[in-house]
Structure 1
Amino acid sequence: MPVVLDWAIRDSPTCKEARKKKEGYACKSSNSRCLDSTNGPGYICNCRRGYEGNPYNERGCTDINECEHLDHYPCKGDCENKEGSYECTCPKHTNSPNPFKERCSQNLPLGARIIVGAIGGLFIIAILVFLWLLHKEKRRMRDNFEKNGGPILEKINNIKLFNKEDIRKILKNKKILGNGRFGTVSKGHTEDKQVVAVKEPINRKSTNDQIVNEIIIQSRVIHKNIVKLIGCCLQFKVPTLIYEFVPKGSLDDILHGKNHMPLKLGLRLQIAAESAEGLAYMHSKTTTTILHGDFKPANILLNEKFMPKISDFGISRLMVTDMQHTGYIIFDRAYVDPVYRQTEQLTTKSDIYFGVVLLELITRKKASHSDNNLPGNFLDTYTKDKSVTELLDKELREDDQEILGHLVGMIMQCINLDVNQRPG
């Protein structure tokens, strides 16, 4: 069985009594200490803290170098051995709440601490401002969405609702196609590589009303001769519209502008006939009659096969009794039915005044240029001479005069100031 050795010096009952016996006192080392025995009378000797060795020998207790035994004497800073102890301090320009247990960190000067604190404060303020602006922007987008009819439009299956980020991506490498009184039209690409035309309206109340109206109208029409509205973004103050891209541009540009090119009679007749198909669809094939109200060459776009597509339904109206009276709208006077300008009553007969567009097709002259009025000149010449050959585009003067004669007769009907004499 194990044996425990428990001993003590028994010649004195306590340390106090032992110290009185100068010759017989056993704790010889000056770095020793006396401890009363816990098992009967007597005492024992130990080296004091910070020393080790034999306390019963005069020089037996020697200093411990704690810095060489950091596993037993911890120090996270600079260790310095002292007689019977050691010091642990942080290097210059560093500090620690307790370098014996915690590492020292860089101690910044007061000025630097002030600067760091100020920067930290500004950073926190910047984050708070950013979060506030983000919240404000989200609330503004939500308000715009609701104001622009989002809760109703999101129920329409054939209109896709884009968000602001979608529009940013579509217009990342945009090409501006044109600018007008209602805003800018740009060419862009969707994530699935579809080429689209994006209409970014000018921010004003009248424009907003017309754009929302355009979305409602075009959500009801799907026809090969009407530009397809792919979707819209309602998170802007004024909605942004996304259309199919029609590569040849407008008939106005081809007749008079930057895309000017020769046009044979057959192609002009095709453009006229298919444009009329689009109008006829709007007037009679939809559940509610749709009136365009601003039919002109600039609003007829042509694809790569010169198929016309009617665009810009900003001032269009659904033909309901309460909506026939259009009030104040912006339109191009050269193409608007004079009867409508007097009565402000938009009807299917108003759209049939598109005979002015047919006039431009066969004369290649603007409906209104300088001091001349094309419909007026045409009517005067036809009434006097029963011939308008001198007004025709030079490219057509050698073409089939019989066909041109029939076309001129149709134009005369379409621009007749008596709306009852216009075709149905």
Structure 2
Amino acid sequence: MVIIMATIFWGQLICQKRKLSKVKLEYFRQHGGMILFDKLKSEKGLAFKVFSEDELIHATNNFDNSRILGRGGNGTVYKGILKDQMSVAVKRCALADERQKKEFGQEIIILSQINHKNIVKLLGCCLEVEVPILVYEFVLNGTLFELIHGKNHLKISFNTLLRIIHEAAEGLSFLHSYASPPIIHGDVKSSNILLDNNYMAKVSDFGTSILAPSDKEQFVTIVQGTCGYLDPEYMQTCQLTDKSDVYSFGVILLEILTDQLPLKLEGSETQRSLSLVFLCAMKNNNLDDVLASHVKSEESMELLSGLADLAKECLDMHGINRPSMKEVADELNKLRKLSVHPWLQLDMEANAEILLGGEPTSGHEIELSGYTIGENENQPINPRSSYYAK
């Protein structure tokens, strides 16, 4: 009797495993896994891995809550540690519709081949589950949003923030102009700009990204993105374009200029939206009223006016009038040259004193985003300093 029961048990277990394998295979096919495998075979040098579900369960300690790095409308991201002790970011995507399922494999192939220093690298994926899981490089120093709005944002020089947004613009410009086919991010915001150990910007989270439509009449059924950053033209037409990313990037420019959140819960409709407040100030020639006080004290009005003008162009209600991301990146590169480095400014002041017949002032101290360099050469330097000069 015991033998019969054991045989039945093992028989049921084998049947369940076979059913599970069939289900996993069906999910794999639905998500374009066969297309991906064919690509990996034809391009053996492609640094991309198809993970099993078990591998990622082990890496994330069964997707334990303590491993969560962030949540969003497009899924939850966990810190994972692979068998070779490499740290990765594991993203369990939100539910995908039938269109997304059909295109997923093809889009994964394209994203896997993007190699740019200012874009988070996609290392692999898992397709044998109902909703695909993506594996990205692990970027450890938080987000631009935290840098601007967090407790320590005053320790970061405006020059550093300017360098970070320029790098982010370069990453987006690459997606729009040099990826083949072009890629529209679809959810550009300061919390999707990650910072590596050198505080270099890396554009992340491609949960709402789409390949640039070849048919200009292609519409989306549901407008996705983040309130405060959404392109008003996209909300009206349901057409996501590269200029939608440009509008969202314009809001990020406002964040660093004003130190304000993109959207507030209090006040009238025009007071809640940072972009509307800014555009109203520009129309009335009141830029000074919306600029953050620490920003005005750090940088010249020439630079700040240039950034404000660029933001205004990005926020134009008509996408056709907005600059391309490449033009935005080029303009930011020019504007960065107007930002005077603190030590350069100190040298200029010292030289001016010498020319006037005086002695250079001794004991000057310069704050560089969290640590101070003074007369004492042995003064300790914070190794986690966020200052990063290009």
Q: Could you tell me the TM-score, scaled by structure 2's length?
A: 0.73
Hey, what does 2:93 align to over in structure 1?
201
Per-residue CA distance 1:259-282 (angstroms, 9 max, x = gap) = 766321111101111111011111
Counterpart contact for 1:217–1:316, Cα < 8 Å: no
Q: Paired residue for 2:315, among 399, 415, 418?
A: 415
- Quick check: 1:270 aligned with 2:163? yes
Q: In the aligned structure 1, how far is the partner of 2:96 from the partner of 2:241?
A: 27
Q: In the aligned structure 1, how far is the partner of 2:166 from the partner of 2:131?
A: 35
Uncovered stretches (5+) of structure 1, i.e. residues with no partner: 1-116
Deviation at 1:214, TM superposition (A): 5.5
Counterpart contact for 1:251–1:298, Cα < 8 Å: yes
Hey, what does 2:296 align to over in structure 1?
397
Deviates most, 173-182 or 233-242: 173-182
Give the number of the structure whose residues are more often strand, by fraction.
Answer: 1
Hey, what does 1:287 align to over in structure 2?
180
Counterpart contact for 1:185–1:200, Cα < 8 Å: yes
Q: Paired residue for 1:350, among 239, 244, 259?
A: 244
Q: In the aligned structure 2, how far is the partner of 1:396 from the partner of 1:214?
A: 40
Deviates most, 191-200 or 247-256: 247-256
Counterpart contact for 1:211–1:314, Cα < 8 Å: no
- Quick check: 1:125 aligned with 2:12? no
Per-residue CA distance 1:218-240 (angstroms, 9 max, x = gap) = 12421111110000011111111
- Quick check: 1:334 aligned with 2:228? yes
Counterpart contact for 1:253–1:298, Cα < 8 Å: yes
Counterpart contact for 1:217–1:313, Cα < 8 Å: no
Per-residue CA distance 1:114-148 (angstroms, 9 max, x = gap) = xxx3x444322221221111111111111111111
Hey, what does 1:325 align to over in structure 2?
219
Deviation at 1:185, TM superposition (A): 0.7
Hey, what does 2:54 align to over in structure 1?
165
Per-residue CA distance 1:138-168 (angstroms, 9 max, x = gap) = 1111111111101111224343111122212
Q: Could you tell me the TM-score, scaled by structure 1's length?
A: 0.67
Counterpart contact for 1:183–1:201, Cα < 8 Å: yes
Distance 1:408 1:312, change over 3 A: same
**Secondary structure, counterpart of 2:240 in structure 1:** coil
Q: In the aligned structure 2, how far is the partner of 1:204 from the partner of 1:266?
A: 40
Counterpart contact for 1:352–1:422, Cα < 8 Å: yes
Q: In the aligned structure 1, how far is the partner of 2:49 from the partner of 2:256?
A: 35
Counterpart contact for 1:153–1:159, Cα < 8 Å: no
Deviation at 1:333, TM superposition (A): 3.0
Q: Paired residue for 1:183, among 75, 96, 110?
A: 75
Hey, what does 1:192 align to over in structure 2?
84
Per-residue CA distance 1:347-403 (angstroms, 9 max, x = gap) = 22221111011111222211111141000001111211x232332233212022221
Q: In the aligned structure 1, how far is the partner of 2:7 from the partner of 2:274?
A: 67
**Secondary structure, counterpart of 2:297 in structure 1:** coil
Counterpart contact for 1:291–1:318, Cα < 8 Å: yes
Q: In the aligned structure 1, how far is the partner of 2:193 from the partner of 2:315?
A: 19
Q: In the aligned structure 2, how far is the partner of 1:202 from the partner of 1:283?
A: 25
Aligned residue type for 1:347: T
Deviation at 1:298, TM superposition (A): 1.8
Identity among equivalent positions (%) equals 37
Q: In the aligned structure 1, how far is the partner of 2:107 from the partner of 2:154?
A: 31
Distance 1:263 1:397, change over 3 A: same
Per-residue CA distance 1:18-77 (angstroms, 9 max, x = gap) = xxxxxxxxxxxxxxxxxxxxxxxxxxxxxxxxxxxxxxxxxxxxxxxxxxxxxxxxxxxx
- Quick check: 1:380 aligned with 2:280? yes
Hey, what does 2:335 align to over in structure 1?
none
Give the number of the structure whose residues are more often helix, by fraction.
Answer: 2
Q: In the aligned structure 2, how far is the partner of 1:135 from the partner of 1:217?
A: 32
Hey, what does 1:68 align to over in structure 2?
none
Q: In the aligned structure 2, how far is the partner of 1:207 from the partner of 1:299?
A: 24
Q: In the aligned structure 2, how far is the partner of 1:303 from the partner of 1:342?
A: 36
Deviates most, 227-236 or 256-265: 256-265
Q: In the aligned structure 2, how far is the partner of 1:259 from the partner of 1:142?
A: 48
**Secondary structure, counterpart of 1:333 in structure 2:** coil
Per-residue CA distance 1:298-336 (angstroms, 9 max, x = gap) = 211111111111111122222232374233243213212
- Quick check: 1:364 aligned with 2:259? yes
Uncovered stretches (5+) of structure 2, i.e. residues with no partner: 41-45, 267-271, 325-390
Q: In the aligned structure 2, how far is the partner of 1:150 from the partner of 1:213?
A: 9
Hey, what does 1:142 align to over in structure 2?
25
Counterpart contact for 1:214–1:312, Cα < 8 Å: no
Distance 1:218 1:297, change over 3 A: same
Aligned residue type for 1:325: F
Deviates most, 196-205 or 408-417: 196-205
RMSD: 2.3
Greater RCO, 1 or 2 (C-alpha within 8 Å, sep 6+): 2
